[in-house]
Amino acid sequence: MQFANQLPTLGLSGQIYRDMRSSMQQFGSLQIPSFAQYNYYLPITLNYEADIWGTNRLKTKSVKQRLEIIKQAERATYISLTSDFAADYFNLIRADEFLAIQEELIKTQEEIVEKVKDKYNIGLCDVNEVLAEQRLLTLMKEEHNRHIKTRDTLTDTMKVYLAASSGDISRNKYENLTVLKDIPLEYSTEIIENRPDYLQEEANIKRIGFDVSVAKREFLPKFIIFGQIGLNAYHLDTLFNSASQMFSAGVLPSLDLFAGGRKVALLKFRKFEYEEALNSYQKTILEGIKE
């Protein structure tokens, strides 16, 4: 759409209307009597803003940088979804393992409680030891319930990712997971330049830079090239005669002498946006190094 603004426009705007004039028209001593007639007007109109200062071209470059920002936002979303999916998948497997271990602990603790009760019944321990083991069993069961809640939450999250409304999530077993090897001991900060947020901020600086240049060029005059070619007749039977042919062309320069300070305010606004973008760019670099 923005690139289309760099091109000339060509259109046909025909008119057929009834022209009724009164006798008040007068040219010197000659007075035109009242009359009525049809007018057939069929022009092809051309308009083109001569982009002498490159304003429209800069606007197109600005829109291209907006497109780049959107592409990087899409890439960032994909990376975020992928990493979150992988993390939730691993945590779901880990929750299964925690539940299995916790169930074994509970089973063992239940046996311990029974044996302590037997000791208490034959007088080899006091009631406090029985209560302590029972309290430990209760804590283990509470932790077991927390693991179940975590597993169910992760399962529901995975269903959202997979767009699955029902059924269980098929997954690997904990002992079959492959641990990552050969993890680098150090990273070069140059990898930040491939991060989507870095590329977004970089494109945003370029975009606002173009907008600042456009705001400066708004103070310069504009030149509109226009032309018309077509037919203009008062009678339908003479519409296609040579006398009815019309042609006009010219250049229309325009310059705003006063705009209420709008252009000055717009230029200041763009400069503030550029300064804000630079600060955001520096912040993104620092956050990238930190992460």
The pLDDT tens digits of the residues spanning 192-209 come to 899 999 999 999 999 999
Residues 186/251, Cβ–Cβ less than 8 Å: no
The pLDDT tens digits of the residues spanning 78-136 come to 999 999 999 999 999 999 999 999 999 999 999 999 999 999 898 888 899 999 999 99
- Statement: residue 247 has pLDDT above 90: yes
**Cα separation of 24 and 61, whole Å?**
56
Q: What are 286's two structure tokens?
A: 């620092």
Cα–Cα distances in angstroms (integers) from residue 288 to residues 102, 206, 263, 285, in the given order: 39, 20, 37, 5
Predicted confidence at residue 234, as pLDDT, reads 87
**Cα separation of 34 and 124, whole Å?**
131
Cα–Cα distances in angstroms (integers) from residue 237 to residues 35, 40, 232, 240, in the given order: 19, 10, 12, 7
Strand pairing class (35-49; 15-21): antiparallel
Q: What are 250's two structure tokens?
A: 């010219």
Q: How much is the CA Rg of the chain, to the nearest whole Å?
A: 40
Least-confidence region, from 50-54, 79-83, 131-135, 287-291: 287-291
The mean pLDDT value of the chain amounts to: 91
Q: What are 96's two structure tokens?
A: 């299964």
- Statement: residue 20 has pLDDT above 90: no
- Can you name the residues that pair with 226 across neighbouring β-strands? 47, 250
Can you tell me whether residue 45 is helix, strand or coil? strand
Can you tell me whether residue 244 is helix, strand or coil? helix
What pTM, to 2 d.p., does this model score? 0.71
Predicted confidence at residue 168, as pLDDT, reads 82
**Cα separation of 106 and 98, whole Å?**
12
Q: Where are the alpha helices (DSSP H) in 174-252?
A: 196-217
